[in-house]
Amino acid sequence: MYAVIRAGGKQFKVAKGDVIEIEKVTDSDDGVEFTPLVVVDDKGKTTAGAAALSKAKVTAKVVGASKGPKVEVSKFRNKSGYRRNSGHRQHYTSIEISDIKL
């Protein structure tokens, strides 16, 4: 059985026991719940739609936090002495999928 969930503006295909990195989750240390977009069971039956999945839940346990690679941003304008350097490093939360319920 697997499900497609939405986290941080991205969609992930997850099954029980998978460990994925999503964008930083701040408010929960013990667990996270998601409402799935699509669920496919072991027999291959697909369940989709808000009405059919209103009671479905995907629960996950927070494993840890990490940071992504540093992205360097440089701005330059010719002949004007304008130079700016900055960077960004995205924070991620690692979660382990513990259960998928229909």
Kindly give the confidence (pLDDT) of every residue in the chain, 102 residues in length, as a single tens digit, with 9 standing for 90 and above. Answer: 999 999 989 999 999 999 999 999 887 677 899 999 999 988 888 999 888 898 999 999 999 999 999 999 999 999 999 999 999 999 999 999 999 998
| pLDDT score for 82 | 98
Number of domains in the chain: 1
Q: Which domain holds residue 42?
A: 2-101
| pLDDT score for 87 | 97
| pLDDT score for 92 | 95
| pLDDT score for 26 | 82
* Plot region of 55 (φ>0 → left; ψ -120 to 50 → alpha; else → beta): alpha
> What value, to the nearest 5°, has the Cα angle with vertex 27 and ends 64 and 50?
100
